[in-house]
Amino acid sequence: MLDSKVPSGPLAEKWDKHKFESKLVNPANRRKFSVIVVGTGLAGAAASATLAEMGYNVKTFCFQDSPRRAHSIAAQGGINAAKNYRNDGDSIYRLFYDTIKGGDYRAREGNVHRLAQVSVNIIDQCVAQGVPFAREYGGMLDNRSFGGAQVSRTFYARGQTGQQLLLGAYSALERQIHLGTVEMHSRTEMLELVVINGTARGIITRDLVTGAVERHVADAVLLCTGGYGNVFFLSTNAQGSNVTATWRAHRKGAFFANPCYTQIHPTCIPVHGEDQSKLTLMSESLRNDGRVWVPKSKGETRRPEEIPESDRDYFLERKYPSFGNLVPRDVASRNAKAVCDEGRGVSGGMAVYMDFADAIKRVGEHTIRDRYGNLFDMYAKITAENPYETPMKIYPAVHYTMGGLWVDYNLMSNVPGLFVLGEANFSDHGANRLGASALMQGLADGYFVIPYTLGNYFGSTKSEPVTTDHDAFKEAEAAVNERTNKLLSIKGNRTVLSFHKELGKVMWDDCGMARNKEGLNNALKRIPEIREEFWQNVAVTGSGDDFNQTLERAGRVADFLEFGEMFAHDALLREESCGGHFREEHQTEENEAKRDDDNFAHVAAYEFNGYGKTPTRHVEQLVFENVKLTQRSYK
Amino acid sequence: MATTNGSINGHSDGHSGKTIALHLQVWRQKNSTTKGHFENYDLSGVSTEMSFLDMLDMLNEQLTHEGKEPVAFDHDCREGICGTCSLMINGYAHGPDEHTTTCQTHIRSFSDGETIVIEPWRARAFPPIKDLVVDRTSFDLLIQAGGYVSVSTGGVPDGNAIAVAKESSDKAMDAAACIGCGACVAACPNASAMLFASAKISHLALLPQGQVERKNRVANMVRAMDELGFGNCTNHGECEAVCPKEIKMDNIARMNREYYFAAL
Ligand SMILES: Cc1cc2nc3c(=O)[nH]c(=O)nc-3n(C[C@H](O)[C@H](O)[C@H](O)COP(=O)(O)OP(=O)(O)OC[C@H]3O[C@@H](n4cnc5c(N)ncnc54)[C@H](O)[C@@H]3O)c2cc1C
Ligand code: FES
């Protein structure tokens, strides 16, 4: 039933062949097609600009006050591309291989190879836009190695790579808005997908300033709405990041794939108190120079600078001599957790040190400042400690979600006309994403994949003329209004924030870095209880026809409360450990994730069966024709 | 329960650091057509480890419990990079700490019992929306006037075909680091957007990719600044002083030079 539509033929030729066989829409006809793009992160901004340049009519939406503020702006470390500028053995095939392996063999070969192929075009495109990537003295592009890679293939713009890439895509988007080819709707939230005759034909939005609920019709809808890490309440994601767009689409028939695949990033600033609203990432590029350690013995009371080498345990270097501090994120996170569980954590027990003293000795403070200056500043601002003098304290935090709406090779969901790009889809990272590859995927999807696959869809499907007067639009709009009115009418005693925190705690305790059957069953019991109470007792002040941030948040938390249950359900049914999904029942003697390729080398994609009902689990078998499935080893 | 996950990820019980009491004077304004006013609120038990926006969350929790409408304020990343947060805090754009956004400002910068006055950005080109939230669409319009290189997707040369001197690239990056928060406009007595516009113009003027459209870019963006209702620059330097990303007034000098040459 789930057809990935990966083209046949040799791996390296699939994409070219597919492009050649795709239907085209001739330039004069493109203006007859309209496209809705929800989201202006790397995926959405790149897609909007590119499709508009090609001649399609584009309407773009984001909930922030400007498209430039999408969450992609926060990415720090860099973007991968198989340029092999370093002459160190990189190639498209190696990037493909590393990504498949890093994802613990739970991604599609065809998609990943295409990603590696177009990665090289992305860098060229961004340079042409004026993205100020780091340069060497000779004027050529600089690279660094990044989490889990043994080649230097990561391009970067200081510690603000996401910002610079997004500003590049944003500037291309603004150019099109100026030319009148994109109609931009900022401070506008998508609250429903409209499906007509089984095909995605529009959305219902709420203007966050006036509260106006509006209908938008198009020939295709692209969701580029980012990840759902905030289901954990605390994460490195921006406050507004949410699951609403994809969850609403899921309720209208789109399958949700691998919801339990979450990435817990090893290097974040530890939690300080219960009133904290977010966790801050310290880019993993820091692991190139920072050495991670804890004291050898429990109950160590000396300041880190006073602890001699002989009393320190550089646990990653010790356990993984060949990758050392650069092991993939899931491995680094689990090991940090393990030493803290042993009681050797620092600063109250839930932190490990990341130490730059050796690097500063080796290359000088100036060079370290050049490489990570803004990250060190950020750390100092948050913690009031100087990381040039004393080691940073770090701990893992929820960071990225590999799961997302199920899409085929064309990035189309099982609902025709509904395409999903960037972090919002599930497609390329398997069970664990490698560092610097989300930016790559977002831009690949937006600049270089969707222009072809959307053209093929338009070229091969006949779109019936519909208007926003269609009953499906009326019903969807009524549903939005009903929900808003319901939220406002409860007038309960508990704040939206308190529900979000309660859900987040259940998710972290029971569906976090290590999961087991008992905990997951507990989550499956608790989440519906919290949800029930939410709908009885939430306090949403203000009105619906006004700027109302409480109402916005309430809608998002309500969706997280439905989504969280499916998340736990998926984690329970996946009786193996793979990548970021670690089931305590399934580990090797050395406490590494133990996959079960015989039974779980597949994608689990869920079909909505109604509110509170168990979703149907569909399976897409993963076919590996090129790589051999092995136990990942970073020793 | 998977107890091994422990009570972490922010679900710890209690605070580290000490707690203080604050007296807040907050600008409340229902919408763009209603007049605003200050309201006074007392908040106690505020941890010095909290960020400024965590503190506003705490205030809003308190207001909600009292059945009052929470204070609207803009924020998203809460790590100083998206440019969404704003706020005049005791008369300073982004508060008392140098080169720090409001979201990165911490309560440890304030003292026990202190009165904190919190207002929105005020500028003609940033009309009010509600409480502390204003409309900064004018910045997007300013970028639309020319803040880009006109390349479409595809057909561009190899990234290394365009050599860029490290020094130029570093300087371009200094300027490109602008987060578009609008503090420069809010702090300027003339509500000028010179620092914002000049950062973009510098970023592109310093790179080979920006050369082709160099003259038109500066001419169009300067015209747009006037049309959008931003004031002129009279060299007060407040913009540079409040900029959380340390964007320098050198950029304004460069923009003026660019403008002069464009007019020749
Ligand atoms: C702190 C941090 C650092 C990172 N660093 C790196 C890195 O160094 N390298 C790397 O490769 N990756 C990194 N990542 C991951 C990467 O940044 C993201 O995965 C990626 O940017 C997501 O891009 P996107 O376009 O899919 O979505 P986003 O950038 O999240 O954009 C989502 C868009 O959707 C809109 N939206 C969402 N819901 C709605 C709705 N209901 N209605 C209307 N609009 C909506 C939003 O307004 C926004 O415009 C990092 C992530 C974080 C959190
Ligand atoms: S909230 Fe993003 S910069 Fe402050």
Per-residue pLDDT tens digits for A54-63: 999 999 999 9
User: Contact, B52 vs B95, CB < 8 A?
Assistant: yes
Name the residue in chain B with its Cα closest to that of A276.
B54
List all residues 6 or more positions away from B109 whose beta carbon is below 8 Å from its beta carbon: B95, B96, B97
pLDDT reported for residue B12: 39
Strands (DSSP E) found in A269-391: 291-295, 312-313, 352-355
What are the boundaries of each domain within chain B?
Answer: 2-119, 137-263
Helices A109-129 and A161-179 pack at an angle, to 10 degrees, of 70
Nearest atom within ligand 2 for CA of residue B244 = 3
pLDDT digits (tens, 9 = 90+) for B211-246: 999 999 999 999 999 999 999 999 999 999 999 999
What's the average model confidence in pLDDT over A315-322? 94
List all residues 6 or more positions away from A199 whose beta carbon is below 8 Å from its beta carbon: A415, A416, A417, A463
List the CATH number of the domain containing A353.
3.90.700.10
Pocket test for ligand 2, best of B51, B74, B77, B86 (most atoms within 8 A of CB): B77
Task: Write out residues 468-527 of A within 8 Å (CB-CB) of B.
Answer: 495, 497-498, 501, 504-505, 508-510, 512-516, 518-519, 522
| B18–chain A Cβ distance below 8 A for any pair | no
Helix (H) or strand (E) holding A547: none
Say which CATH architecture domain B137-263 belongs to: Orthogonal Bundle (1.10)
Instruction: Say if residue A321 is in the same domain as residue A392.
Output: yes
pLDDT reported for residue B239: 98
Strands (DSSP E) found in A24-123: 34-38, 57-61, 79-80
Of B9, B136, B166, the CB nearest to A508: B9
Instruction: Say if residue A218 is in the same domain as residue A288.
Output: no
Measured distance CA(A250)–CA(A275) in Å, rounded: 32
CA distance B206 to chain A (A): 10
Neighbours of A565 (CB within 10 A): 22
pLDDT reported for residue A635: 79
Instruction: Say if residue A255 is in the same domain as residue A268.
Output: no
Decide whether any atom of ligand 1 lies within 6 Å of the A189 Cβ.
yes
Q: Is residue A33 part of a domain?
A: yes
Contacts of B106 in chain A (CB under 8 A): 381-382, 384
CA nearest ligand 2 atom 3, residue: B80
Measured distance CA(B6)–CA(A270) in Å, rounded: 14
Q: Is residue A158 part of a domain?
A: no
Residue with the larger pLDDT of the pair A498 and A276: A498
**Closest to A576 in 3D by CA, of A587, A590, A589, A591:** A587
pLDDT reported for residue B16: 55
- The yes-or-no verdict on residue A148 having pLDDT over 80 is no
Measured distance CA(A507)–CA(A557) in Å, rounded: 13
The range of the structural domain enclosing residue A57 comes to 22-73+166-261+402-427+447-620
Q: Is residue A439 part of a domain?
A: no
Q: Which CATH superfamily is domain B2-119 in?
A: Beta-grasp domain (3.10.20.30)
Instruction: Say if residue A497 is in the same domain as residue A529.
Output: yes
pLDDT reported for residue A146: 81
| B123–chain A Cβ distance below 8 A for any pair | no
Measured distance CA(B35)–CA(A632) in Å, rounded: 63
Q: A–B: how many Cβ contacts below 8 A?
A: 292
Query: What letter does residue A301 receive in the DSSP assignment?
Result: -
Q: How many domains does chain A have?
A: 2
Measured distance CA(A329)–CA(A267) in Å, rounded: 9
Strands (DSSP E) found in A422-533: 494-495
Instruction: Say if residue A257 is in the same domain as residue A278.
Output: no
Decide whether any atom of ligand 1 lies within 6 Å of the A555 Cβ.
no
List the CATH number of the domain containing A417.
3.50.50.60
B180 alpha carbon, closest ligand: 2
Instruction: Say if residue A358 is in the same domain as residue A226.
Output: no
pLDDT reported for residue A283: 85
CA distance A270 to chain B (A): 8
Instruction: Say if residue A215 is in the same domain as residue A239.
Output: yes
Look at residue A227 and give its three-state secondary structure: coil
- Alpha carbon distances (Å) from A356 to A5, A325, A462, B17: 48, 12, 60, 26
CA distance B127 to chain A (A): 13
Decide whether any atom of ligand 1 lies within 6 Å of the A429 Cβ.
no
User: ipTM, 2 decimals?
Assistant: 0.95
Task: Give pLDDT tens digits along chain B (264 positions).
Answer: 333 333 333 333 344 579 999 999 999 999 999 999 999 999 999 999 999 999 999 999 999 999 999 999 999 999 999 999 999 999 999 999 999 999 999 999 999 999 999 999 999 999 999 999 999 999 999 999 999 999 999 999 999 999 999 999 999 999 999 999 999 999 999 999 999 999 999 999 999 999 999 999 999 999 999 999 999 999 999 999 999 999 999 999 999 999 999 988
pLDDT digits (tens, 9 = 90+) for A249-288: 999 999 999 999 999 999 999 988 888 899 999 988 899 8
Asked whether the beta carbons of residue B153 and residue A172 sit closer than 8 angstroms, the reply is yes
pLDDT digits (tens, 9 = 90+) for B2-17: 333 333 333 333 445 7
Measured distance CA(B255)–CA(B199) in Å, rounded: 8
Please provide the average confidence, as pLDDT, over all residues in chain A. Answer: 96
Task: Write out residues 305-364 of A within 8 Å (CB-CB) of B.
Answer: 337, 340-341, 348, 350
List all residues 6 or more positions away from A149 whose beta carbon is below 8 Å from its beta carbon: A80, A98, A326, A434, A435
Residue with the larger pLDDT of the pair A373 and B195: B195
| B32–chain A Cβ distance below 8 A for any pair | no
Instruction: Say if residue A253 is in the same domain as residue A345.
Output: no
- The yes-or-no verdict on residue A112 having pLDDT over 70 is yes
Q: Which two tokens stand for residue A125?
A: 């495109």
Tell me the pTM.
0.96
Of A53, A240, A341, the CB nearest to B76: A240
CA distance B186 to chain A (A): 17
Sign (positive or negative) of CA dihedral B221, B222, B228, B231: positive
Q: Is residue A507 part of a domain?
A: yes
pLDDT digits (tens, 9 = 90+) for A224-235: 999 999 999 999
Q: Is residue A98 part of a domain?
A: no
Q: Is residue A91 part of a domain?
A: no
Instruction: Say if residue A582 is in the same domain as residue A471.
Output: yes
Query: What letter does residue A107 receive in the DSSP assignment?
Result: S
CA dihedral of A103, A104, A109, A113, whole degrees rounded to 10: 40
Nearest atom within ligand 2 for CA of residue B104 = 4
pLDDT reported for residue A591: 83
Decide whether any atom of ligand 1 lies within 6 Å of the A81 Cβ.
no
